[in-house]
Structure 1
Amino acid sequence: MSSRIEIHYCTQCRWMLRSAWMAQELLSTFEDEITELTLKPGTGGVFEVYADGQRVWSRKEAGRFPEITELKQVVRDLVSPERSLGHADRKDA
């Protein structure tokens, strides 16, 4: 299965580096599943992540940025649900 990821980020807020780092993390983790990853600059405090057209994270709705392990989990759940993320899947007791 090939998946497309989009990260929409606010240029006014200077979130490009954060977006690029998250993109790199997703591409490294899902190198066989992701065929395209796009960074989409915007304004107004936007930070949203889409997997195959479905929004999987919204900073405005969550009230915060995702931890990278959270983001990998929600992306995995759509692009490769059977895949283990190893230590990133462990829950704190």
Structure 2
Amino acid sequence: MSDRVGAPEHTGVVTVTYCTQCNWLLRAAWVAQELLQTFGVELGGVTLAPGTGGVFTVHAGPTLVWDRKRDGGFPDIVELKRRVRDELVPDRVLGHADRAAGRPDG
């Protein structure tokens, strides 16, 4: 049960781990802002976690949905929203982002 008045049950927390040596805090904060703007109270929150060594990862709950090293750079925000949605709120329609990906319900 949510302790936020009028809020639906949230599905999970997104964690953005960013490299402090590379000064990627602003990028991580922007990603957090975009996810919160899109999903609102459907998320349990977005956590920013400092790291080192060029790390920039995004976990949706326990699942790694983006890794800068594995996925080849920083995420396109539309693609990242799709991956977070697919993991945490699969019934959520993302509108234009779904249409661009060819998803029929978008």
Asked if TM exceeds 0.5, the reply is: yes
Residue of structure 2 aligned with 1:37, choices 8, 30, 46: 46
Residue of structure 2 aligned with 1:86, choices 56, 77, 95: 95
Percent identity over the alignment is: 55
Amino acid at match of 1:82: D
Q: Tell me by how many angstroms 1:32 deviates.
A: 2.3
Residue of structure 2 aligned with 1:50, choices 55, 59, 75: 59
Q: CA RMSD in A?
A: 1.4
Q: Tell me by how many angstroms 1:92 deviates.
A: 6.6
Q: Tell me by how many angstroms 1:44 deviates.
A: 0.2
Unaligned runs of 5+ in 2: 1-9
Q: Tell me by how many angstroms 1:48 deviates.
A: 0.3
Q: Tell me by how many angstroms 1:53 deviates.
A: 1.1
Higher radius of gyration, 1 or 2: 2
Amino acid at match of 1:75: V
Q: Does 1:73 align with 2:82?
A: yes
Give the distance between the partners of 2:100 and 2:76, measured in 1 at CA. Answer: 14
TM-score by length of structure 2 reads: 0.82
Q: 1:44 to 1:76 in 2, by over 3 A?
A: same
Q: 1:2 to 1:48 in 2, by over 3 A?
A: same
Match of 1:12 in 2: 21
Give the distance between the partners of 1:32 and 1:78, measured in 2 at CA. Answer: 16
Unaligned runs of 5+ in 1: none
| Higher RCO (CA < 8 A, seq sep 6+) | 1
Structure number with the higher strand fraction is 1
TM-score by length of structure 1 reads: 0.93
Q: Tell me the number of residue pairs that the alignment of Structure 1 and Structure 2 aligns.
A: 93
